[in-house]
Amino acid sequence: MPSSEFFYHCTCGGLLDIVHDFRGYDAEYLKRLFKERLSERMTPYASGVWRYKELIFPELSDEHIVTKYEGNTGLYASELIEKYTGLKRVSVKAQSENPSGSFKDNGMTVAVSHGKSLGYENFTCTSTGNTSSSLAMYASIANANSYVFVPDKDISMNKVLQTLAYGANVFSFSGTYDDGIQFLEKHSNELGLYVCNSINPFRIEGQKSIIYEIAQYLDWELPEWIIVPGGALSNATALGKGLYDLYSLGLINKIPRVAIVQAKGASPFHKMVNEEKKELTPEPFPKTRASALNIGNPPSWKKALQTLKQTDGITISVTDEEILDAKAIVDKSGIGCEPASAATIAGLRHLVSKQIIDKEESALCILTGNLLKDTDNLRYYHLENNPCTSFKNTIQYSNLTLYNISKKIIGKNT
């Protein structure tokens, strides 16, 4: 049994938030400390999350840290992406390179470490797939059990299979992600389950590390815009919070503007902001091919609103066609991502073409999930939807024919 039960909501009904006392921290000291830790290997500080432990969860003793050296992901520029978005200075942060293949690892390492430190052995989440694969991975590393609740429709099978493979107990239910959240809010305490969804404030603390790492890699000078996809809006929340930390600690001297991109078929937050409404109206039947964004009632919308306020941020929505076209560009660039991540590239292209972002400005897109997370969409885009490909009707050639055809095609390209 856990030594103390953990609750996610305040008595006012809102989500809990973690507030640190950063007084006494000196920016130069922190920069030096974080730099020294870049040479760590087999200690928790080799992680791209725990490197910044002082800003995330300073009270946790190192023996409780459950880590897979998450973070430490690449930051890339690409000519293809520059051309596609129309921006000269654009880069991407590939959170897709995390151990379970998505940025969820940045938050999950902290949530599972916290739960273990309280004595929990049973962890849970509801998920469109990435949260569950991340949880299942960390629970197994921690010798704990995971119980995950996955909607039976509009999810990527790759993610569910990955979750099963790590050893999770998977419950499939008929309903949406939003129904799953409601179920856990009601029953998790009674079942003795530690909830690892983004209503858990420790997830948010861990996800702040994404922007810390970007800032450190760029020598504490951030681009003018950071573009992030919005589903449950935990990533957008953590981004705003992390930026505010960096600024108030004096680690950066200017806060970039944030653009949150939603998929048109699941864009309640964008609609609320766009129509200047005070409250979010949930969408009961969200529908997008970007399964990680298929959320109609994002739990963190109030916190994400804070991000917009603190960063002079904006929102935008993009169609599934725009998302898949942008994804094809990211994939072809050699970086690769899943559909939800490519919403950032599609959104940036839109914002540049509408001149909301000037061609001379700089931007960074956060790529949230791995190319192999969603092979259904790859099949759909490259094999079913694309008339140029002949892969679908592959014919067996003789060696000589194969040689002649390939010579022709390769000759054309050189």
CB of 134 to ligand PLP, least distance (A): 8
**Part of the chain binding ligand PLP (CB under 6 A), chosen from 79-87, 140-148, 224-232, 313-321:** 224-232
Residue 242 interacts with ligand PLP (CB under 6 A): yes or no: no
Contact 151, 123 (CB under 8 A): no
Residue 235 interacts with ligand PLP (CB under 6 A): yes or no: yes
Residues in contact with ligand PLP, shown as a per-residue x/- string from 4 to 43 under the rule CB under 6 A: ----------------------------------------
- The amino acid that residue 277 corresponds to is K
CB of 304 to ligand PLP, least distance (A): 8
Q: In sequence order, which residues have a C-beta less than 8 Å from that of residue 92 and are 6 or more positions away? A: 75, 76, 77, 78, 81, 330, 335, 344, 345, 364, 365, 366, 367
Task: Tell which phi-psi region holds residue 222, choosing left (phi > 0), alpha (psi between -120 and 50) or beta.
Answer: beta
Distance CA 269, CA 313 (A): 13
How deeply is 101 buried, as exposed, middle or buried, from its count of CB atoms within 10 A (0-12, 13-18, 19+)? Answer: buried
User: Hey, which bits of 24-133 come out as E strands?
Assistant: 75-77, 89-94, 122-126
Residue 364 interacts with ligand PLP (CB under 6 A): yes or no: no
Three-state SS string across 296-345, please? CCCCCHHHHHHHHHHHCCEEEEECHHHHHHHHHHHHHCCCCCCHHHHHHH
Residue 231 interacts with ligand PLP (CB under 6 A): yes or no: yes
Residue 232 interacts with ligand PLP (CB under 6 A): yes or no: yes
Classify 365 as helix, strand or coil: strand
Residue 365 interacts with ligand PLP (CB under 6 A): yes or no: no
Nearer Cβ to ligand PLP (117/126):
126
Nearer Cβ to ligand PLP (46/328):
328
Residues in contact with ligand PLP, shown as a per-residue x/- string from 191 to 210 under the rule CB under 6 A: -------x------------
User: Using the rule CB under 6 A, which residue among 51, 53, 93, 104 binds ligand PLP?
Assistant: 104
User: Using the rule CB under 6 A, which residue among 340, 345, 365, 371 binds ligand PLP?
Assistant: 340
Distance CA 324, CA 343 (A): 8
| Residues 117 to 136 in contact with ligand PLP, rule: CB under 6 A | 130
| Residues 278 to 337 in contact with ligand PLP, rule: CB under 6 A | 292-293
Q: In sequence order, which residues have a C-beta less than 8 Å from that of residue 385 and are 6 or more positions away? A: none
User: Using the rule CB under 6 A, which residue among 341, 352, 357, 363 binds ligand PLP?
Assistant: 341
Nearer Cβ to ligand PLP (87/337):
337
CB of 369 to ligand PLP, least distance (A): 3
Residue numbers at the binding site for ligand PLP (CB under 6 A): 102, 104, 130, 198, 229-236, 292-293, 338, 340-341, 368-369
